[in-house]
Amino acid sequence: RQGSELSGWAMGRWTYEGIDLNHNFADLNTALWDAEDNDLVPHEFPNHYIPIPEYYTFANATVAPETRAVIDWMQRYPFVLSANLHGGELVVTYPFDMTRTYWKAQELTPTADDGVFRWLATVYATSNLAMASEERRLCHYDDFTRFGNIINGANWHTVPGSMNDFSYLHTNCFEITVELSCDKFPHASELPAEWENNRESLLLYMEQVRAG
């Protein structure tokens, strides 16, 4: 009702219990990087299929039921490719989402599969009608067109506990975030156009499962 320009960036992210679902997955990054710094990888600490920390499984852990349900779903089905859809910007981000230097708000933090992630993000961005349009405007102040409308998540803003990083480190699923539109809350009348902007890119993205 407020309209996209009047509501804040985080509007709609918190659950009734006050949990931000965008930061609610287990932080596996810190454990991996600590193990790497201590030369424990891979013989004493895995660098993939990293187990969930015990503290995260406690009944009193601040984990939303929605997050627990998604994790259970991911563990039951061996997904290899995924995307989560956000709004408020026009860009595709790829892991890592969390900066390796914990006190930095922005830092290029690539995965070992950076080339694959950049390809996946590029496939989506170049086939998305809104992103690829020569007439596209900047949503805010970041000019993502300079980078082909893709960016390493941590190099944009750090997100500890993201679903992208968790999917990659816990289940080996390659996941990206698609910021679909400058308009965070488009009106119902605008949804058909939003669908057309993303239809081909969604199909091409899914086809990458077999392309590899």
Helices (H), the chain: 29-37, 54-57, 65-76, 114-127, 129-132, 153-156, 163-166, 191-211
Q: Which of 175, 179, 190, 194 is catalytic?
A: 179
Whole-number Å distance between alpha carbons of 97 and 107: 10
Contacts of 70 (CB under 8 A, 6+ apart): 163
Q: What share of the chain is helix, strand, coil (3-state, %, to 5)?
A: 40, 10, 50
Annotated catalytic residue 17: no
> Is residue 23 within 8 Å of 161, Cβ to Cβ?
yes
Tally the residues of the chain: 212
Query: The tokens of 122 are what?
Result: 């590029």
Find tokens 């899914």 and name the residue: 206
Residue 82 parent element (H or E): strand 81-86
Q: At what angle do helices 114-127 and 191-211 cross, to 10 degrees?
A: 140
Q: Which of 120, 96, 103 is nearest to 27 (CA)?
A: 96
Instruction: Return the active site residues.
Output: 179
